[in-house]
Amino acid sequence: MSKTPKPRNAFYAQSGGVTAVINASAAGVIDAARRHRKYIGRLYAGRHGIIGGLTEDLIDVGAETPATIRGLRHTPAGAFGSARFKLKGLGQNRAEYERLIEVFRAHDIGYFFYNGGNDSMDTALKVSQIGAQLGYPVTCVGVPKTVDNDLPLTDCCPGFGSVAKYIAVSTREAALDVASMARTSTKVFVLEVMGRHAGWIAAAGGLAGNGPDDPPQVILFPEVAFDESAFLARVKGSVGKNGYCVIVVSEGVKNADGKFLAEAGTRDAFGHAQLGGVGPVIAQLVKERLGYKYHWAVADYLQRAARHIASKTDVDQAYAVGKAAVEYAVRGMNGVMPAIIRKSGKPYRWKIEPVPLAAVANVEKKVPRDYITEDGFGITAACRRYLQPLIAGEAWPPYRDGLPAYVRIKGKAVKRRLAGDYRI
């Protein structure tokens, strides 16, 4: 082994929409950093992610108790605060990157762990590049996280397995409800799920049943243009045959013109259209055209925060990518992301391997056509084989007084070293 350099501090930030297991990745980073004190001095976290980095609002992770760190493994959402804040391209806003490097320099930060999705992998890569340009090299490692499961090169994304389990369980449960009541009441139930451009979460609804007539009888994917008449025929057929129809619809379903079926009209900080409400749109269509009594549910944040029904596989993988990120960094690997590699499907075995951020950034992995049945309304056996191991295993959080005992960080601020406020 080469001569050990002087330890440098590390910066960890959570980015974008949170998940049931992003804090498990944080725990992986924290635990591994503690095991590599020769390389990593103090570990700081950005309060509200990269915003904490830019505004020099750093959290001293070392001030948290061991019980809190252990608790992160079973606590959903972003314990350190996340942010929907995308650093612009270097050409458009070089100042933001320079500011981040300024903060890093002030706190002797030599490692940057960015826990996010496509956009964040791109940012991590750019920070690595500009650090080098400014003569302040920072080892930047991405830590994958996204419920959308749309990162390339990794078999799956931490966060996805748990939302997939939530949707599969919820669909199975709601379908039993609808089947019980269909004789005299609701015939069509619509569950709207997340997945802006990729239908992985909607696909997971397909795990609720096994046989061809099992619910959900219809899945609507963003990858398949909505065909109203084929859809209505399918719903009618299911009600005729089974007495009811359960529909799982992705928020990102588009019509043949590529327009979202339900578009709220507002946009988030990344410039993405803010969606929500395709569930009632679909339910209303069924009611108007077929006359069936309907109910609809929109799981929204409930699905991605549902640590109570997290997949053990997902929790383990989330922790593993956090740990691996630190191990890569201390070995001097820069601009990489730990990816999950499927070694075998049955029995399910996986390992972690580094992939270059440049190959991950801004690439979206959609549900391949051969994972969707020919009619466009269901998942194939290949899709089921892919998804099933990802929801396997239960990882119950501890309970107190009937409720999961989630932890909150102390969040002790690191003393500022730079003068003046930085406005974002």
77 is an interface residue for a second copy by CB under 8 A: yes
Q: Can you state the angle between helices 94-106 and 118-133, rounded to 10 degrees?
A: 70
Residue 125 CA to residue 28 CA, distance in Å, equals 21
Which residue among 57, 119, 148, 150 is the active-site one? 148
Which positions from 92 through 151 interact with a second copy, judged by CB under 8 A?
none
381 is an interface residue for a second copy by CB under 8 A: no
Residue 353 CA to residue 232 CA, distance in Å, equals 45
Please give the distance of CA 262 from its chain centroid, rounded to a whole number.
22
Which positions from 6 through 35 interact with a second copy, judged by CB under 8 A?
14, 17-18, 20
Which positions from 151 through 190 interact with a second copy, judged by CB under 8 A?
165, 168-170, 172-174, 176-181, 183-186, 189
Residue 337 CA to residue 358 CA, distance in Å, equals 10
Which whole-number Å values give the CA distances from 182 to 166, 246, 402, in the listed order?
Answer: 24, 11, 32
Stretch of 36-44, 78-86, 105-113, 116-124 lying at the interface with a second copy (CB under 8 A): 78-86
Binding letters toward a second copy, positions 252-281, x by CB under 8 A: --------------x-xx----x-xx-xx-
Burial (Cβ within 10 Å: 0-12, 13-18, ≥19) of residue 3: exposed
Residue 164 CA to residue 170 CA, distance in Å, equals 10
Nearest to 281 by CA among 264, 261, 301, 254: 261
Instruction: Indicate the residue among 36 and 84 with the shorter CB distance to a second copy.
Output: 84
391 is an interface residue for a second copy by CB under 8 A: yes
Instruction: Indicate the residue among 179 and 232 with the shorter CB distance to a second copy.
Output: 179
Minimum CB separation from a second copy for residue 224, in Å? 25
Residue 275 CA to residue 262 CA, distance in Å, equals 7
- Tokens standing for residue 258: 């590529």
393 is an interface residue for a second copy by CB under 8 A: yes
* Type and span of the H or E element at 153: none
Stretch of 87-95, 106-114, 128-136, 385-393 lying at the interface with a second copy (CB under 8 A): 385-393
* Type and span of the H or E element at 315: helix 312-330
Which whole-number Å values give the CA distances from 268 to 8, 46, 265, 289, in the listed order?
Answer: 35, 21, 10, 33
Instruction: Indicate the residue among 127 and 246 with the shorter CB distance to a second copy.
Output: 246
347 preceded by cis ω (within 30°)? yes
Which of 10, 29, 83, 337 touches a second copy by CB under 8 A? 83
Minimum CB separation from a second copy for residue 190, in Å? 9
Minimum CB separation from a second copy for residue 244, in Å? 11
Stretch of 35-43, 70-78, 105-113, 234-242 lying at the interface with a second copy (CB under 8 A): 70-78
Residue 45 bridge partners (DSSP): 12, 59
Which whole-number Å values give the CA distances from 317 to 141, 253, 361, in the listed order?
Answer: 16, 29, 20
Number of residues that bind a second copy (CB under 8 A): 73
Instruction: Indicate the residue among 35 and 399 with the shorter CB distance to a second copy.
Output: 399
Instruction: Indicate the residue among 74 and 131 with the shorter CB distance to a second copy.
Output: 74
Minimum CB separation from a second copy for residue 320, in Å? 18
- Tokens standing for residue 383: 């899709």
The radius of gyration of the chain's CA atoms, rounded to the nearest angstrom, is: 23
Minimum CB separation from a second copy for residue 332, in Å? 32
Instruction: Indicate the residue among 129 and 242 with the shorter CB distance to a second copy.
Output: 242
Which positions from 288 through 347 interact with a second copy, judged by CB under 8 A?
293, 295-302, 304-309, 311
Which positions from 197 through 256 interact with a second copy, judged by CB under 8 A?
207-208
Residue 148: active-site member:
yes
Judge contact between 267 and 220, C-beta under 8 A: no
48 is an interface residue for a second copy by CB under 8 A: yes
Catalytic positions, written as ranges? 148
